[in-house]
A and B are shown apart, each in its own frame.
Chain A
Amino acid sequence: MANLPSNPALRRTLSLAPALGIIGIFMLIPVGIIAVFSFLEAKSFGGVVWSFSTDAYVQLLYERALDDSLILSPGYLIIIWRSFLLAGIAMLCCLVVGFPVAYFISRQPLQHRNMWILLITIPFWTNQLVRTFAWIIILGRNGIIEAPFHWVGILGSDDTLGLMYSNFAIAVGLTYTFIPLMVLPIYASLEKLDFTLVEAAADLYSSKWEAFSKVIIPLSKPGIIAGCLLVFIPSLGAFIQPDLLGGGKNMMLGTLVQFQFSTARNWPFGAAIAMILLAAVVIFLMIYARAARGQQKMELH
């Protein structure tokens, strides 16, 4: 062990090999296989037939009628639409609540700031499944919210407010799960913000609103964009929240993919949806990379 390879390039390659090898074999290749599978024919009860077919993608939009003609079917489009809509709603809720909270924390003395950030970080690292389960107890039949209605007698013993198993419940679950990912990056850019610029705006007789919209918002834009993506992307592919809080009727892309692989056993179709999800994520990440690069250029000038 005492003799490390003396050639720096060789040593570097050897040190990188385990990490790159593992991620390459167990991540890159499997995702590649999924991409290939999405263009193959489905075998009944799972698996694929090795012949090229775009059926999986066609199936997203059309249903095959008995006479083999294609009929437009909105079922899967609705699921795609619901995924984008709920991810968007969750993102907006997180932004509307998260920005003021991040601003408040950034204006606190240093010691308090660290405490606040720790408190926001802790729930994020605790089990998502467990935290989502907690919402069943709150929103569910006879749950914390419904119970008082039952006591007072507004709701009969068989009635329910219908909060659970709805798009509303999914949106709450997504917001609850991912909001720390909005607060933390916004806080990071607000903390770096040179507050004397805001004071300068005040000295130059700008209103509070002007100082906010023309100084604070533009300077915290990188954090806002990062936060929005960090909430939107995992929400778009979420599984736990739509599965536990949405019930069978309110599927999202994540639950649809899982359903195709575990229950429906149509692998190419499941693979095609997974590819669409992945493509959406890649597009959003590219937009982000471009925005971040633009921001860097602006800062250099």
Chain B
Amino acid sequence: MAAIEHSKPKKRRAFGEVPGLGALAIAFMMFLYLPILVLVVYSFNAGNIVMVWTGFSTDWYARAFANEDIRKAAINSLVVATSATAIATTCATLAALALARGGSFKGKGATVGVITLPLMVPEIVTAVAMLVFFSNIGLNFGLGNVILAHVTFCIPFAFMPIRARLDGMDTTLEQASRDLYASDWETFRLVTLPQLMPGVLAGAMLSFVISMDDFIITLMVAGAGDTTLPVYIYSMIRQGITPEINAVSSILLLFSIVLVTAYWFVTRTKPDGKNR
């Protein structure tokens, strides 16, 4: 008996293990990261042909920073992403609260369906639909149009982590607050919102990244002067490939990577304050 008990755990561990999987997983990571690495490495190429390495230089970054159009596109991107994030996160927080704390009501499923609709409709369809809509009703707020479009598709991205956080939150604290004669507003401001904050922050970060990265919808909706950074990069690629594109792209990549990593660490705290 003893011999069998000793040998069993070994056999079990071996059963689920498949040789070569580790190597595959590492190869997969290389597949994911090598193209990004190539892009960044060639942004330091001295020559003006991307694929021919002639030496190390940071000239292309200097050029990108000096380029008036790039600077303008970057500012547009930041303005759009910041405004869209602020509006979308506010709308999403209100909606999530109504859905998680407002009891059950008729049409609740449909409501969630509408809020998550932008995730399901293909981006290109949204893009042309918004183009037709804006041009037909003659709405022309310039960058405002772009912000409105971004708010629309950012709402579900902000909504999901906030809703998840609300669902994971213990309602006893809110009940206790009400039992202690706090008003609804006080309960919300002093009890619910502080607990909800990591969810709100996560939602805001997601919408910011999504807005910064959006290309096709902005391409169709934005007027001539309202170019964002991805749309500008696209027009650069169309004109011919230079390491300047790599330099701008690398900056954009770095920006997203920092935000996503920050998002990761924010969402890892559970509602009870402990780390997962």
Contacts and interface: CB of A to CB of B under 8 A. Distances in A.
B121 A281 contact: yes
A51 interface: no
A45 B67 CA distance: 34
Most chain A CB neighbours (cut-off 10 Å) among B24, B32, B129, B246: B129
Contacts, number: 257
A246 interface: no
Given A16-B98, A107-B17, A134-B39, A26 B133 contact: yes
A28 B114 contact: yes
B122 A33 contact: no
B128 A127 contact: no
A204 to B, nearest CB: 12
Contacts of A13: 98
Interface residues of A, number: 89
A234 B216 CA distance: 13
Contacts of B52: 142
Interface of A: 1-4, 8-9, 11-13, 15-16, 18-20, 22-24, 26-31, 33-34, 37, 97, 100-101, 103-105, 107, 114, 116, 118-123, 125-131, 133-138, 140, 142-144, 147, 176, 179-180, 195, 198-199, 202, 208, 211, 233-234, 236-237, 239-240, 244, 253-254, 257-258, 261-262, 267, 270-271, 274, 277-278, 281, 285
Interface string B39-82: 10010000001111000000000000000000000000000000
B164 interface: no
15 contacts: A3-B185, A15-B95, A18-B94, A19-B92, A31-B129, A100-B18, A107-B16, A121-B264, A127-B213, A127-B256, A133-B237, A237-B124, A240-B215, A240-B216, A261-B220
Contacts of A29: 133
Given A2-B185, A258-B124, A27 B129 contact: yes
Contact of A137 (B28, B39, B127, B132): B39
- Which of A28, A37, A134 is most buried by chain B, counting CB atoms within 10 A of its CB? A134
Nearest to A46: B135
Where chain A touches its partner, the secondary structure class is helix
Interface of B: 11-12, 15-18, 21-22, 24-25, 28-29, 31-33, 35-36, 38-39, 42, 49-52, 90-92, 94-95, 97-99, 102-103, 105, 111, 114-115, 117-118, 120-133, 136, 148-149, 151-153, 155, 159, 183-185, 188, 209, 212-213, 215-216, 220, 230, 233-234, 237, 241, 245-246, 249, 252-253, 256-257, 259-261, 264, 268, 276
Contacts of A208: 15, 18
Indicate the member of A105, A107, A114 with the most B CB atoms within 10 Å.
A107
A237 B122 contact: yes
Nearest to B155: A19
Contacts of A128: 213, 215
Contact of A129 (B16, B24, B31, B215): B215
Contacts of A116: 25
A285 B128 contact: no
A290 to B, nearest CB: 16
Contacts of A119: 29, 32
A176 B129 contact: no
Given A131-B36, A267-B132, A26 B97 contact: no
